Amino acid sequence: MQYVRLGRTGLKVSRLCLGTMNFGPQTTEPDSYAIMDRALELGFNFFDTADVYGWKLGEGVTENIIGRWFAQGGGRREKVVLATKVHGKMGEWPNESGLSALHIKKACEASLKRLKTDYIDLYQMHHVRRDTPWEEIWQAMEQLVREGKVIYVGSSNFAGWHLAQAQEAAKTRHFMGLVSEQSLYNLNDRMIELEVIPACEYYGLGLIPWSPLAGGLLGGVLQKISEGRRANEDVQKEIEKHRPKLEAYEAFCKEIGEAPADVALAWMLKNPVVTSPIIGPRTMDQLNGSMHVLDINLTDEQMKRLDEIFPGPGGPAPEAYAW
């Protein structure tokens, strides 16, 4: 495993981040334990989750699984840089979602209880909340940091403008503010190259891409279907929408002798702003197979070919759409 600093911090995290969203809904608890144990053996030290994962209102299914895994001891908690999130709906009452100071406090305490830990390494706002002032959000986060319940604060699904708002407000409070942004980013979804990536670079935020395989589209989906593996209706629609690109992409991967999923991740790791793409293995084989990507170093010519297949927005704004 390789390690890299998370944005401008001194914190070192593994070059790949273990996403846990499948734990519970698609991966059984014993299999989830086995995957996390194997991840530690492979050198993963960065695990990402969220209070809403498990998709049963207010239950925190995935956090509970991770907490019971931590409770087995063996240095499990101490070895993990633990990231979770706040914002999602955790109940039916008015203040059981969002980023009010009240919900941030209660959600953090509930996550700590489920995760069976007394601190969260990276506490991420799962979405921007336009109706909550930044002074309220930062006051709540500062209190959690003072209490030792949170070490670093991050964001997820923010626009570049939101990152700027957040950091400028934190600056006036002499608070470190955000250290990372978790965004949708992959070869097929490159919109954040316009504003978010430049903002991350300027403010020293680590970029943690989610869905690096575009929901499976970049994982050799055409080959899998030809081999008889079924895809749901939504995936079928996406395949037909992007079929020419996918055909060219899978042909390119075959040409260079690498698996499509590995090429998608290797392309992302070439971006110096990217810290750790989130991989969400459902099985042990998927986890073990992910390690090969660290040995792939795409050439400039290969990167150019990928840009031709999946053209981005044209670089950072405003040059991407103006002079």
Q: Which residues are known catalytic residues?
A: 53
Instruction: Report H helices in the chain.
Output: 29-42, 61-70, 76-79, 101-115, 134-146, 160-172, 196-203, 221-226, 233-256, 260-269, 284-289, 300-309
Q: How many helices (H) and strands (E) does the chain have?
A: 12, 10
Q: Rounded to the nearest 10 degrees, what angle do helices 160-172 and 134-146 cross at?
A: 60
Which residue matches tokens 């895994």? Answer: 69
Query: Rounded to whole angstroms, how far apart are CA atoms 89 and 301?
Result: 46
> What whole-number distance in Å separates Cα of residue 213 and Cα of residue 172?
38
Rounded to whole angstroms, the Cα distance separating 172 from 153 reads 16
- Token pair listed for 206: 């680590």
Which residues on neighbouring strands pair with residue 47, listed in sequence order?
A: 18, 82
